[in-house]
Structure 1
Amino acid sequence: MIIVTGATGQLGSRIIQRLLEQVPADRVGVSVRDTDRAAGLAARGVRVRRGDFTDPHSLSDAFEGATQVLVVSANETGPAAVAQHTTAIDAARAAGAKRILYTSHQGAGPDSLFAPMPDHAATERHLAETGTPFTALRNGFYAATVPLLLGRALETGELVAPADGPVSWTAHADLAEAAAVILADEGRYDGATPPLTAPDALDLADIAGILTELTGRTVRRVVADDEEWTAGLVGHGVPAEQADMLLGMFHASRRGEFTTTGPTLEKLLGHDATSIRAFLGEVVTPRP
């Protein structure tokens, strides 16, 4: 049985939908914190059990009978994130999983300037130390982050943010499809995958140009001072710790941590990956 954690989240839910196109529902299980939210999956024949990364006992039940477990990374950073990931990995191993998969990141690295990246690197190290075959999905940077960085750009014509660098913006839908392909074809990758990214890396000046083309209104890239930008976030209610973490993303992109791209994602999909232009077209152009 293939078990997917976080199956009601933004990525996990898409993975399950794609997986069910390739694997019978009775071979698929999900581990979710709120089983009520997975009622639709249960109705389709998917095994739904409660599993919480902070409750190892729940995971032993959720992972029972697993041949593969996909651990979708937690929405945390720092030691709490690593602890949750290692708990899930250890539970998957104890349940007898033959392969453990983990949604890592293209920029995973112990010395990254962006807080989640050392967490991914530490989780990958733990995976490697278990001795169980594993696959770390080196996903590109989620394209869904871009709308969050725009601020009031579509209203003011100015995309204001700290200095940045090119980023491998990649759609959740494509990454979910690729994960499903890898799960259905067990053993395709041992260890970390090549970068699973869209083919291009673009910075926010490129994004401003795309928005200009899509909307017909000039959007100008304005580079903000780091401290003024974070102070502005805090002034609008963002916790200081979170503001600093977001600034780290810009520091890391300036250093080129998210520039690497590759053809692997498109090879897995068998079609072109979603471009950031197409993704933004859906965001800024209302459907009729």
Structure 2
Amino acid sequence: MTSPLTSPLVAVTGASGAVGGRVAGRLAREGVPVRLLGRDPSRLPRLPGAVAAPPAPYGDGEAMRRALDGAHTLFLVSAHESPDRVLEHTTAVDAALAAGVERIVYVSFLGAAPDATFTFARDHWHTEAHIRVAGARHTFLRDSWYLAAIPAMTGADGILRGPAGEGRVSAVSHQDIADAASAVLLDAGTGHDGATYDLTGPEAFTLAEAAGELSRRTGRTIRYVPESREEAYASRAHYGAAEWEVAGWVTSYEAIAAGELETVSDAVPTLTGRPAQNLAAYLLENPDSYRHLLPGG
């Protein structure tokens, strides 16, 4: 591990978000020079020793190049889902290389593949493919579903619904992703070059089991209601979202049913030196995540 006194500059994207913000904070506490990137610099955290770059949307190659000038390592948190997300990612990667960035650590998704059931996972595969041929040192962190998504996708009516069947998902916490990423970034050597780490929780569970855990935590009956694809599209129609976005929502459940998200990896404990958090522990430590499910919530 490189001493903070000799650590190269790390550019952290998504620094106002749940993963990027945690990573930026950890690096700053360790004395690593950090540059924070985001669309809106006013939303970036104030951290000792960290400097906020001017506005740098991923799709603006020139802004990204200016923001990354002088950085050695880019921590690239994936952009918000959009029809142009792959183009935004590849633009950011090309800008990084033009700015002289030597290393990219990219937050991808479990099971990323060109034919993944989960449509957004395909975006991640194409981004990975671009990074592989770009020439920079790279590491891919493929995280599973977020543990935070379990209560978030449960309605106030106490129903978690989707076409996941009896499939299992190895959901992981934002904190575990951030700690694993920080461990990779703090090691400036070549040991992680070319590596792909599946970042998962310690177990894979069905959504029915997740509903049971939510029931124990909230003291009310939470149910998982399996849906067909047609039912899933119909139950989400009231959101008025674009077709590509609804397809992403629905196929994320279908990927569970297909067994594509049941992988359980030891990458989190290996990288962080501690066990990965399970759903019960996450809910215990994050009561705000299910407050909408409590009586009067």
TM-score by length of 1: 0.89
Is 1:206 equivalent to 2:212 in the alignment? no
1:200 is displaced (CA, Å) by: 0.8
In the other structure, the counterpart of 2:65 is 60
CA contact (8 A) 1:198 1:266 kept: no
1:18 — aligned with what? 26
Q: Does the aligned pair in 2 maintain the 1:77–1:115 contact within 8 Å?
A: no
Q: Distance in 1 between matches of 2:160 and 2:52?
A: 43
Contact 2:164 2:255 in 1 (8 A): no
Deviations 1:31-66 (A, max 9, x none): 21111222623xx23121122212111111110111
Q: Please give the secondary structure, in 1, of the residue aligned with 2:198.
A: coil
Report if aligned partners of 2:202, 2:277 keep a CA contact under 8 Å in 1. Answer: no
Tell me the matched-pair count: 278
Structure 1 residue 159 displacement after superposition: 3.5
Equivalent in the alignment of 2:79: 74
How many Å separate the matches in 1 of 2:81 and 2:161? 26
Note the C-alpha offset of 1:110: 0.8
With over 3 angstroms needed to count, the CA separation of the structure-2 counterparts of 1:239 and 1:248, relative to structure 1, is: same
* Secondary structure at 1:12 match in 2: helix
- 1:182-204: CA deviations, max 9, x gaps? 11102331224231111111120
Tell me if structure 2 keeps the 8 A contact 1:141–1:170.
yes
CA distance 1:33–1:126, shift in 2 (3 Å): same
- Amino acid of the structure 1 residue aligned with 2:160: L
* Counterpart-to-counterpart distance in 1, 2:157 and 2:274: 32
Matches within 5 A, 1:55-134: 55-78=60-83, 80-134=84-138
| Among candidates 163, 179, 182, match of residue 184 of structure 2 | 182
**Cα separation, 2, equivalents of 1:241 and 1:39:** 32
SS at match of 1:134: strand
Superposed CA deviations along residues 214-261 of structure 1, whole A, max 9, x for unmatched, are 233333332233322321211244444422221111111111111111
1:19–1:181 Cα contact (<8 Å) kept: no
Counterpart AA for 1:84: E
Task: Spell out, residue by residue over 1:98-122, the C-alpha distance to the aligned partner (whole angstroms, 9 max, x if none).
Answer: 2111111122111011111111100
2:131 and 2:28 map into 1 onto residues whose CA distance is 26
Q: Which residue of 2 aligns with 1:33?
A: 39
Q: Which amino acid aligns with 2:73?
A: Q
CA gap of 1:183–1:149, structure 2 versus 1, over 3 A, is same
Which of residues 226, 231, 235 is equivalent to 1:228? 231
Q: Which of these residues, 277, 282, 295, is aligned with residue 279 of structure 1?
A: 282
Q: Is the 8 A contact 2:59 2:89 kept in 1?
A: no
The answer for unaligned runs of 5 or more in structure 2 is 1-8
**RMSD of equivalent CA atoms:** 1.9
Counterpart position of 1:258 = 261
Q: Could you tell me the TM-score, scaled by structure 2's length? A: 0.87
Question: Is it true that 1:159 corresponds to 2:160 in the alignment?
Answer: yes
